[in-house]
Structure 1
Amino acid sequence: MNSQNPLFIPGPTNIPDTIRKACDMPVIDHRSAAFAEILNPARANVRAVLRSESAEIFLFTATGTAGWEVALTNTLSSGDRVLAVRNGMFSQRWVAMAERLGLDVLVIDVPWGEDIPAERIADALADDNGHAIKAVLATHNETATGVTSDIAAVRAAIDGAGHTALLFVDGVSSIGSMDFRMDDWGIDVAVAGSQKGFMLPSGLAILGFSAKAMAATEEAELNRVFLDVRDMAASYAKGGYPYTPAVGLLNGLRVSSAMLLEEGLANVFARHARIADGVRAAVAAWNLPLCAARPEICSDTVSAIRTPEGFDAGRIVDHAMAKYGVAFGVGLGQLAGKAFRIGHLGSLTDVMTLGGIAAAEMAMSDLGLPIRPGAGVAAAQEVYRADRPVRAAAA
């Protein structure tokens, strides 16, 4: 793969040079005051990206999957019942983890390509008169299908049922790229990873805990050691870390989160929405269907594109890499061989995205699909040309 070609997978995403240089730093003593000057701003910036005034921010040297485990093990006890919606590969994996941890998982199954049905959550909670359900697991943006769900509606369903369940949200492929409001949406645990909207290498699990979630940590009895937020909180109070951290990644997070805030979250979200609109226009020009069942639930960070019956979509991904050095995402789970994915999040621009669309067109045309090279590019160009301010030339 040519290292100059941008990635078009839904994570890890492209790393800007500024962030790469921030990660490439000399070794420092992580028990010194110098480390606190990295850790404290990083946590404060992440809190702002989550749009929270008071969430406790935890940064583990781990991954988003570990973040799911942090949410479960720090707030629940063996045998506790949780309610989960399963509508794609990543929500499915969270369900599987909860089951392996000894939790009683009540699953609402939804066809892949659909979003979370808040009304079914409301019904399940209304039937739970004894409040046996301790938490609701919701995937904000299902990376396998390119579907975004309405988390505010999930919170409204919980509140409408008068239920006490905690709300856990997987925002791994949405936080830092799409509108996410921890406080306004009443989220108790938000889970993210470093390698997507934060534009970093993988290696950090990034979480926000509400006051209600923090209170639950005192009653939880599931085993946790490395992933114990109580140890983290005790160390943070002293400006430190309970074990040896990935200092370079944390410094990169300090810089990347500051870059997001400097760009302005509204501008970040608008950029992702515009880029996604261009990709969707290209897909329409190819006469290929998206996995997302309806336009209003299409993700602004990843598009899962179905290929014709009998055609192995994995061939597109393999060919694009082998011939053009461009990476696209394979179909996962039920979509393996039936779809490929274009990630359009993180450090991307309109012009970079046009290159990815062109590469996809060339690969599909090479493989005999009835794709006219230039059709998708032209459709995306019309989106990107519209309502774009022209910068004045420097004096």
Structure 2
Amino acid sequence: MSRRSLHTPAPDAASLRARIDRARGAAADANTDALLIAPGSDLRYLIGQAGGSFERLTTLVIPAAGDGVPALVLPKLEAPGYADVPTDELGVDVLTWVDGEDPYRLVAGRLGKPGRVAVSDTMAALHVLGLRDTVGGEQRLAGPILRELRMRKDATEIAGLRKAGQAIDRVHARMGEWLRAGRTEAEVGADIAAAIVEEGHTAAEFVIVGSGPNGASPHHDVSDRVIERGDIVVVDIGGPIPEGYNSDSTRTYAVGEPRDADVAGTYEVLQRAQHAAVAAVRPGISAQDVDAAARDVIAEAGFGEYFIHRTGHGIGLDVHEEPYIVGGNDLPLEPGMAFSVEPGIYQAGRWGARIEDIVVVTSDGVEPLNARPHELVVLDS
């Protein structure tokens, strides 16, 4: 049996209990009798441990405010992995079960006959169906309820994101150690992944090294393509720090002087677009208006068809979470919301470029959490 370590730094018990209380209130406001939270980032947000998703049911049962005491239901053999969870201080009962017992009936006994329950968005179908058949009641997703809590980061969470941003900046600062002509994207990516851990992350969650025409594919990974002198290279990297919060930062590099004459002018447009979007961030402005701030600059310069994704995504315990900075999202931004600002210009078959910072909405504006220069960095080939 193998799994990532459960023993990583967590918020203090008072902060976690406040989150559980807010979740109970949010469930009541949503006319939902209980939340059933599976292992993952939602569980970590609420009790400080993410756990793991296996064939045996583990779930945090959170009755709506006024409807009973929360309970952590888990296999007895998994209980040692949760030994650091301060359940007494959180006001959470622990209910264990062993193979041969029916854990769904354990949950049902705790809840009685609920009219509506909300299950984690990522709960395995095995458990969703087992709970439906045994607990009863109308099922819905818990994500829309919990995202209202998780979108607004507290000071501890922002400190974690700030630490993650500084760690990934240190990796970008070292790019000249690895990125050069004659090496494959995969070779460069392996060195970057090792450096991500060296600089304070627990893992490299993703490493994109898109050289030449591969840089025009926003979700390119790495390949055996040999990097050539004159290539433009998109490097998008990130991962979690021990506190669980993630980094995500993209910079674009040139290996020697760019071979294409249009690079300087096109990249200058991208810089202006990214700056305009960051400058637009403040409380009260909508997510779609930040997207438009970047998109309008790129479109006015004639590159609108080459900007083929949203401007940003929320970040925290997950790399991608609410709020999404995209057209059609009229959500007003509030202090504590954290997200990426990452416009790109992608010319298929030629080259691409992206600039990405994580930012946090403050009481009167915005705080960027990445500090590496936005200029096209020309590395010795």
Place the TM-score, normalised by the shorter chain, in its bin.
under 0.3
Query: Which structure is larger by alpha-carbon Rg, 1 or 2?
Result: 2
The structure whose RCO (Cα within 8 Å, separation 6+) is larger is 1
Larger helix proportion of the pair: 1
Larger strand proportion of the pair: 2
Q: State the TM-score, normalized to the length of structure 1.
A: 0.23
Q: State the TM-score, normalized to the length of structure 2.
A: 0.23
